[in-house]
A and B are shown apart, each in its own frame.
Chain A
Amino acid sequence: MKKILIIEDDEKLRTELAIFLNNNGYKAECLECFNNTIEDILRMYPDLILLDINLPGVDGEYICKKIRKESDMGIIIVTSRDNELDELVSINYGADHYITKPFNIHILLAKINSLLRRACNNDTKDKINVKDFILNMSNCTITKDDKTIDLTRNEYKILKYLIENRGKIVSREDMMDCLWESESFIDDNTLSVNITRLRTKLEELGLQDLIETKRGQGYILKGENEDEFKGFYKR
């Protein structure tokens, strides 16, 4: 599991950030004292640091430069300044990304994900093995027993979201939220239509009961046993 070090002086912000990252499969730690920041970072040697540039009494950009000289770890600068010039300077100092507060937490997560995947030199897994079928991420298809069916972009996103939240009931609103985040701005009716179409396609593969409706709550992927989803993509 990848280690992320959070260097941020606002206590609540760093605590919540740590919780969020831990919930998303990372091992997040925080620095609480900023007297020996550079030594501390190098000692803990995380895979990525979230660095607040506006640390009191410390020059964040200097830290960035120093760390980049000594290591290859991912550096994402987090700040409340939104001056474009700061971004350029930071990139020149070796930061990989620059994000301003208040940030969209999903975008931050996406940046972290992409940075760590790249640094690790692991190819992004382009298949998800679920029970007895495979979701192919590269071409949005689903394969079971040698039969492959095409999914539309929305159908693919819905299925992927259900798989990612296996074992949990997913509300329609959450699903809509996820779809809109990936720039499919559909409305409620369209969502229903898409799920119906998805089910029809799944039926062709003999997976007609895969998506179960929980009245008044949402949908869930049938087979709530965690074991059935082994081989799931790991970061």
Chain B
Amino acid sequence: MKMNLKDFIKDKMLLSCLLLFGVLTIEIFLLAYPFGTFIKVYIPVIIILLYITGISIEYFTKKRFYKGLESTLNELDDKYLINEIIKEPNFMEGKILKSTLEQTDKSMLEHVNQYKQKQENYKEYIELWIHEVKIPIAASKLIIENNKNQITKSIDEELTKIEDYTEQALYYARSSTVEKDYYIKKIVLKDVVNESIKRNKNVLIHNRASVHTHDLELEVNTDSKWIVFILNQLIGNSIKYKKQDENLVMELYAKQGKENVVLYMKDNGIGIKQDEAAKVFEKGFTGTNGRLIGKKSTGIGLYLCENLCNKLGIRIELNSVQNEGCEVCLVFPKSSFTDI
């Protein structure tokens, strides 16, 4: 809502009418008595002029304040901080406005903090829970290691799935809180890629996939655990959306750019429809593929990946042609921000 002349005049309408009435009354009196023409004209004119001056000053003072308010509001991203920035106005309505804003801001802040705290508590609980559940998973995997056979191998696959889902839950909980749970250090892409492939080796071998890696000796500055998690999600997707009648072929390699290092992950799966490609990173997006193959998709995986990449300053892109596979790029910037 902007301040404009029309509204201002409308507000002053009552006062102006009363003044006009008053001036008219005075004029009638003046006309009834033998005053000089000069007085008969001078007095009403002075009164009206003084009045106009008065409301003009008021108009311009207020206009300046509200214009400043409007432009500051437009520039601010966090608009709720407006009250901290504007100067104390010197007219009553302005003062009342500022004081009211102060109180509403405080109340809303308390309200928001309650939710922040709740979320923080929940995240802590999830982290605790995940650490607890890791113990029986580790024990189970060890038991399987000591008693390897077809049955236990099959159970091992399922256990790995459980591990993957708990990890996804952990990163989801971390991604939505404000604190930075990451630890940036120099890593070699080859190490994280190999770790991720080995993590998925059972299901990859089972699906007769072949994986080619090359040119991964490049270094980047990032959190290795988060990258391994992201790669796990991407590899999982490649496996899920591979062609039924063709063996999965994956290629992972990296290229050094001028300002960045790019990690490429290509597969020969069923690909993604052109019009859906832009939406894959949206939360809950399952797309035609997700429903076609009959594989239940939570729609969280890629959303989480993009979220985490944003936190780490990495750009993630997906290129695909339907039936010709998918290519995902992770672009690691080389900037002074991330250099250690």
Contacts and interface: CB of A to CB of B under 8 A. Distances in A.
A55 to B, nearest CB: 13
A176 B135 contact: no
A102 B210 contact: no
B198 A10 contact: no
B198 A101 contact: no
Contact size class for B?
20 to 34
A80 interface: yes
B198 A12 contact: no
Interface string A7-51: 000101100110110010000000000000000000000000000
Given A13-B142, A16-B143, A104 B183 contact: no
B179 to A, nearest CB: 13
A173 B150 CA distance: 11
Contact of A16 (B139, B202, B209, B211): B139
Interface in A176-193: 176-177, 180-181, 183, 185-188, 190
A162 to B, nearest CB: 17
A187 B146 contact: no
Contacts of A103: 138
Interface in B140-163: 141-143, 145-146, 163
B194 interface: yes
Contacts of A149: none
B146 A20 contact: yes
Contacts of A125: none
A166 B119 CA distance: 56
B142 A173 contact: no
B131 A80 contact: yes
Contacts of B198: 104, 180-181, 183
A101 to B, nearest CB: 4
Among B132, B142, B205, chain A packs the most CB atoms within 10 A around the CB of B142
9 nearest interchain CB pairs?
A187-B210, A102-B138, A185-B211, A16-B142, A84-B183, A180-B201, A101-B138, A80-B131, A13-B139
Interface of A: 10, 12-13, 16-17, 19-20, 23, 80-82, 84-85, 101-105, 173, 176-177, 180-181, 183, 185-188, 190
